[in-house]
Copies of this chain bind each other. A is one copy, B any other.
Amino acid sequence: MTKANTLGETEDLQENLRRLTHLLHKHKLVEGLVHTQQMPRQELVEALVHKQNLAELQNLLDRLHPADVAHILEAMPLEDRLMIWELVKAERDGEILLEVSDAVRETLIATMDSGEMLAATGQLDADEIADLAPDLPRDVMEDVFQSLPMEEREQLRAAMSYPEDAVGALMDFDVVTIREDVTLEVVLRYLRRLDELPDHTDQLFVVDRDEHLKGVLPVNRLLVSDPDATVGSVMAKEMVKLHPSDNAHQAAQAFERYDLVSASVVNAEDKLIGRVTVNAVMDFIREQAESEALNLAGLREEEDLFAPVWKSLKNRWTWLAINLVTAFIASRVIGVFEDSIEKLVALAALMPIIAGIGGNSGNQTITMIVRALALGQLNAGNARKLFAKEIGVSAVNGVVWGSVVGLFAFFIYGSGSLGLVMTLAMMLNLLLAALLGVLIPLTLHKLGRDPAAGSSVMITAVTDSGGFFIFLGLATLFLV
């Protein structure tokens, strides 16, 4: 019995290793590092698979970057994931938890006791703990607070007080500050006394006694300037200053436009309280793009690939329910015209064409407008021009595609008047799609709502019900 168990375990391990190898292999997991001086990872893992050695697997995991371990964990079904998670050295738990997706983080934290969670946060900075905080139990967070020195406790409290899309949530506190009146030589000596500089230190922040931000000294300028010059004479006085309550989206735009690596964050009194770095911004941009793509498809949030069925359902139901309601409405619109359909059954076969193409065209318009709104390129001044353009596009589309579907109807059913009704309905539905494709996102924007979130459902609802109504209505008037 014991033997069988041992064997079974070995097989499990082998299977896990096989998967890990496969992952590392096939999906070129650590692409960026493949060309390092090290022994290539794949050979390493193959060797491990041969020896079937748990200790070496652990060894390999220890040598992987936390982000790579996170990636492996995300790609593993639950039981394998937890097995790998057990092998990861405890002192790296915190860093890895930071890197995994929210959904996967939940599954990992579920296996940890309070002590382990507390230990995991012990390796992290205040701003990083703030990122984990929503997933930790309240009593653990209280212990975490107690364990921090006063300054970090204040930082953690500050970092946790900002909504996810505020600059405060992207901010860290790793700023190196210097005074205006010292020479660069002094700065260089001061830096040499430090063990290391914080990641992404491309500039030092020049502050006065009260922490007011006076300027920034780019490291590149420090390196090329005369060491006898003073900081004040070399520093840049024009700089990007963010406020913790600023919208993170706008901070990201500043990073993209001005090619920043870091930017200062100051409070209302212009005192330096932290900085934002490009890696935090890049993560933010990626997350925004992802959640936009997910929302478009009707997924509420990122889903653990191997989430249990009921969790997936929760993630998907809101959208399906909303769509069901719009489908019911469209169905009742058709229901009104059942007499006409009974008399001319071709209408039933043709009506989805009108609705479908209208929806496609409307979604094209909406995507354009939502994008222009996000980039701040739309305003009262040019909205009219845009409106005219979209109407023009839909008019041409109406004539062209309307004729195509009209001919289709004529060839299938041999009725010229049916073809004409088809053409007219197509033109009108495309016009409706263009009108509302501009109006819906503009209105949502004016009401302070996110136009990206609901526009697509609404336009589809309108072009479906509207398309059915226009086509069946025209047919009832002219054909039946």
Contacts and interface: CB of A to CB of B under 8 A. Distances in A.
B357 A324 contact: yes
Contacts of A75: 375-379, 382
Given A327-B352, A379-B22, A294 B256 contact: no
Contact of A192 (B74, B224, B241, B298): B224
Given A19-B381, A23-B379, A367-B294, A65 B313 contact: no
Contacts of A310: 396
Interface residues of A, number: 148
A379 B257 contact: no
A250 B32 contact: yes
A401 B191 CA distance: 65
A251 B393 contact: no
Contact of A241 (B35, B290, B303, B379): B35
Contact of A380 (B22, B77, B221, B283): B22
A305 interface: yes
Nearest to A25: B379
B76 A382 contact: yes
Interface in A335-382: 335, 338, 341-342, 345-353, 355-357, 360-361, 363-364, 366-368, 371-372, 375-382
A224 B194 contact: yes
Contacts of A261: 200, 202, 261, 278
Contacts of A371: 290, 293-294
One complex includes copies of this chain to the number of 2
A112 to B, nearest CB: 23
Interface stretch (A52-60, A155-163, A232-240): A232-240
Interface stretch (A82-90, A132-140, A141-149, A315-323): A315-323
Contact of A224 (B197, B239, B243): B197
A128 B235 CA distance: 28
6 contacts: A31-B253, A32-B253, A192-B225, A293-B367, A316-B361, A323-B356
Closest 5 CB pairs of A and B: A32-B254, A27-B376, A297-B367, A289-B289, A67-B257
Interface of A: 18-19, 22-23, 26-29, 31-33, 35-38, 65, 67-68, 71, 74-77, 99, 188, 191-192, 194-197, 199-202, 219-227, 237-243, 246, 250-251, 253-261, 263, 266, 278-279, 281-283, 285-286, 289-290, 292-294, 296-299, 303, 305-307, 309-310, 312-313, 316, 319-320, 323-324, 326-328, 330-332, 334-335, 338, 341-342, 345-353, 355-357, 360-361, 363-364, 366-368, 371-372, 375-382, 385-386, 389, 392-393, 396-397, 401, 404-405, 408, 412, 464, 468
